[in-house]
Amino acid sequence: MSPWDIWSLVSKLLVLVGASTVSGGTFSLYLSRDFGDDISGRMRRYIILGAMLGAVATMVTFLTQLGAINQNGLRGMFDPQMAVIIGQSPLGYATGTRFAGFTIAIAAMLMWQYRERSRLYYLYVVFGLSALASLFFSFTMMGHIAELGILPRLSIVIHVAAALLWIGSLYPLWLLCNADVSSAKLKTVMEKFGRVAIYLVALLLTAGVYLLTQLLSSIDQLFSTPYGQAMLIKLLAVVALLTLGALNKFFLVSRLYVDTGRQSLARSIGLEMVMALGILAMTVHLTTNVGP
């Protein structure tokens, strides 16, 4: 594996981390909107930092691809003529759309403090939804999905949106477990997230299964091809993460009033974050190294 390949994998992983932060952070900001300025401030900083990370990683991904094509060392990353050519390719369009999404997300968070002014509130909502739409849609513009029809591309939007909202919400939930909030408020937020998570998981799995039927010609390819085998490993990791999430929802949330209940839930969510990062890394490997 060349240095270009390594840089590409790392930058793509950071793009996913940034996108999940913006997606899940925005959702968590809505869930915890009644928790006061301290909590909302932490959520906003989480989103802004994630958006900044995603924007930088998006540009690094583009420049890395440019350098890999030129094969002229670091200078090859800044070839203006090649940049124009690549900028007019699916990679260029996806880069622009994704970068715009991260930038709009930062603008939306800067507007949050003026949300009580009716006109600016609606502008904040429009900016926030536009940022999420840009990020989700950007994943349909490259790779095998871009060559498929409308329904598969809509499915990848649903799949990506559900996954990023879920994964990106884990850190804010962990943060709330360790914040100075009452167990009653914490339990309310966890229960709200649990109810939404059921729909997210249903959408995630339904869209994911449909996409597999579009990318693989037969079930045998799950076992006989590198892509299928890597996908099986990812599916097992997702099942493990779902199992842990179910443990949180049905057992640990109900024990929040117990002395060690909050700490147990925080540890479990922390483990979920580690597993989720591993799943994102496997996703990057699947989409970069072992296409169907």
R_g of the chain computed on alpha carbons = 20
State the average pLDDT for the chain: 87
Range of the domain at 159: 3-288
Q: Which two tokens stand for residue 115?
A: 């949300």
Residue range 152-185, pLDDT digits in tens: 889 999 999 999 999 999 999 999 998 888 888 8
- Residue 72 phi, psi dihedral angles, 5° rounding: -130, 35
Query: What does the pLDDT read at residue 118?
Result: 58
Nearest to 197 by CA among 156, 165, 232: 165
Q: Which two tokens stand for residue 191?
A: 């229960």
Q: How many domains are contained in the chain?
A: 1
List beta partners, residue 72. 74
Nearest to 276 by CA among 154, 169, 190: 169
Q: What CATH number has the domain bearing residue 277? A: 1.20.1630
pLDDT at 130 over 70: yes
Q: Determine how many CB atoms are found less than 10 A away from the CB of residue 36.
A: 12
Summarize the confidence of residues 39-61 as an average pLDDT: 94
Percentage of the chain lying above the pLDDT 90 cut: 42
Residue range 140-151, pLDDT digits in tens: 988 777 677 788
Summarize the confidence of residues 81-95 as an average pLDDT: 88
* pTM score, whole prediction: 0.91
